[in-house]
Structure 1
Amino acid sequence: MPVSFTVRPAVASDGAFLADMAVEAANWRAGDPRPRHEIIAAPVYSRFIGGWMRPGDAGHVAVDAQETPIGAAWYRMFPRTDPGFAYVGTGVPELIIGVRPIWRAHGVGRALLQRLADQARADGFARLSLSVERGNFATTLYRSEGFAVTQAGSGRDTMVKLLR
């Protein structure tokens, strides 16, 4: 497979694809995938999808040479009264990322994270956060892109990247 892709800003019509990528993010383990309807109904994922694209949302979509979406990374702000798993403070967007399995380990996730960090910096944010389940192979990518564990939870960690 040729490793040729580009990254573009996410738009309002990408909502259904972002739901697909939330499913990919949830089903990172090989073997026993959870059903799509179960994942997109779970609050940990539905909060990143519902009402896309609302004010303050930002993201990027990777597309292959035929312009078919293959991955996405996006962030949202959540209030202290309704925090996500990666909530670290007011004014820190929480991100989620998903890449189609066949495109993993081809630089797609790294390109998406870099573009999203650039976007967050341009939007005036000082930090980005994410939540990752322990054992997820993507943790190595997150660390290499400057994310560090700031909170260890039950089976998952919160990681933060300083942008300034």
Structure 2
Amino acid sequence: MTSINIRPIGEKDKPFLWDMLYEMVHIPNDKPPKELLLAMPGIRQWLEGWGRTGDEGFVAESAPAGPIGAAWYRLSDAGQPGYGFVDERTPELSIAVLPEHAGRGIGTRLLRTLIERAETQGYPGLSLSVDPRNAALRLYERFGFRRCGTSGTSVTMLLRF
């Protein structure tokens, strides 16, 4: 089995995070091309201006493949909420693993690391948005995330610490 390293997001990871943002958006049929999807303001806000106060995340990498997954969170304000927005004190998380590396526990490791980081930072919890048809829903439920609302066709979930 290949060794997987989980490390904090660095400046050099920004292009990879945009790739992961595209992978994160679960659209079962007719997913728009990457350039169009990532140009949408509701999508861009998850990464645009990365590095502001409260932005935190991790990259999973393996040798020789390099980065293969990422998980991050950031705070939003009520005036420009994300799809998984709960309140201004609770960061919303994003997570994705390259499809060819899915199903190997990488997402689980990234999520565990991100949750531990958010707890040590003193946040009240983490929120997220997930399409109910996305297999990742079961992962979030295993970690204790509970449904607390909807946004469009997605479910908003919350983990309170």
Superposition TM-score tier, normalisation by shorter sequence: over 0.9
Q: 1:58 to 1:90 in 2, by over 3 A?
A: same
Say how many residue pairs are matched: 161
Tell me, yes or no, if the aligned pair for 2:26 and 2:131 is still in contact at 8 Å: no
From 99, 108, 111, give the equivalent of 1:110. 108
Q: 4+ residue runs of structure 1 moved beyond 4 angstroms?
A: none
Cα-to-partner distance string for 1:31-88 (whole Å, 9 max, x where unaligned): 6442110121112320011111222100000001226000000011111111111111
* Contiguous gaps of at least 5 residues in structure 2: none
Encode CA deviations 1:93-128: one digit per residue, 9 max, x unaligned. 011111100111100111111000011111110110
| Letter of the 1:140 counterpart | R
The runs of 5 or more residues in structure 1 that have no matched partner are: none
The change in CA–CA distance for 1:19 and 1:135 in structure 2 (over 3 A counts) is: same
Matches within 5 A, 1:79-94: 79-94=77-92
State the match for 1:47 in structure 2: 45
Q: Does 1:18 align with 2:26?
A: no
Verify the 8 A CA contact 2:83 2:151 in the aligned structure 1.
Answer: no
1:63–1:69: 8 Å Cα contact kept in structure 2? yes
TM-score, with length taken from structure 1: 0.91
Q: Which residue in the other structure is 2:129 paired with?
A: 131
RMSD of Structure 2 on Structure 1 (CA): 1.6
Measured after TM superposition, the shift of residue 12 of structure 1 is 2.3
Displacement of 1:28: 6.0
TM-score scaled by structure 2?
0.93
Amino acid of the structure 2 residue aligned with 1:83 = P
Which residue does 1:157 correspond to in 2? 155
Q: Percent identity?
A: 37
